[in-house]
Structure 1
Amino acid sequence: MNSKRLNFFGLGAAAIIFAAGAVIWSNNSNAFAESNPVTLNGNVPAYSNKISDQPIQSAEDLKRVAGIEFSETQSTQTEEEPQIDKISAIEAANKITGYADVASSIHAEYHVISSDSFYTEGFSKEAKTANPKLVTSELIKDTPVWIVSFEGLNIHRSGKKGNKDYVMTEDNIVVDATTGQVLFGFKYR
């Protein structure tokens, strides 16, 4: 698969654009990360009516697009409980994107993921400090995450020279379910 690295939005986040048109970025910049994960102190966010319990990410899509796999073929739930709740994961993702108010629906799926091609070197210092497991392994291995998906968006992305621009309608942010730190994001549809 052809890929190239570039500086995503000029903020220092490493991005990989795959031939299929997917964009994957990792959070290696302090522009995205803060030392403390987002908490809501028991308050219900205004967009709570948009949060869906329906899973939308398939194991096949994630393997093809992002090179990540659900560990031990666990596709929707795992025996290990997340330390960060669903709403806090959505807030962390929204803090980066600001998409909660404009998305038609928001999905947050808990998974344990691994990758033989996605290196942890692109993660922020804060993410690595908060979760030492990310420092001891060069690759993502059995890492509990929330995959937060904002649907119903209108993200224009230009294609190859001479091709028409196209619109992506979903943005996906991967949040460490142990610490609440954003690890990376991807768009593919």
Structure 2
Amino acid sequence: MVRNSNGGGGAKKQGRKFQNKNRTEELRKSEDKNELYAIVDKIYGNGLNVYTNLGQEIWCRIPGKFKGRNKRNNYIEVGAWVLVGLYEWGNENDPKSCELLYVYDRNDVEQLQNLPGVNLRLLNSKINSACINNNIDADADADDEEQGRIVFSENIVDEATMFAVDTGNTAIVNFDNDETINIDDL
């Protein structure tokens, strides 16, 4: 058996090698006319479609600093707020592509919306219209689930899979022949 003469502390050093420190940096703001605030609309393998604060839908390239080891701190999902940079050699009136510069978290988004002189109305309306189109009321459902209330859904579920689906605190009731159920009898 090999003897541990160093005490085993080296593994901790190697494990913390790429760990980020506590973030105390300032909010990343648009510093140029070619830097725009945007919302992620669709995600592809090597890029994504974003909807900018000027009302344009543009394809965006994801550079290497947002991939691999740094992906954990820069997680990109549909509806995420990002800062993108338009290419200088592109057409300014109708840009075709851009590059991802920064991914905002929830706290940063709140700070962005409170900044004076930044017009984010189009982005807010895009998020609200997406929520209405998808019938998503995330805040109400989250509050009900956190408080342990029963949430009824109108999803149609067939009898074969009704008991196989684990829905947590959600009650799904399927009425085939206008049946009535008295909740007090249960």
TM-score by length of 1: 0.24
Select the structure with the greater relative contact order (CA < 8 A; seq sep ≥ 6): 1
Specify which structure has the higher proportion of strand. 1
Specify which structure has the higher proportion of helix. 2
Q: In terms of Rg, which structure is larger?
A: 2
TM-score by length of 2: 0.24
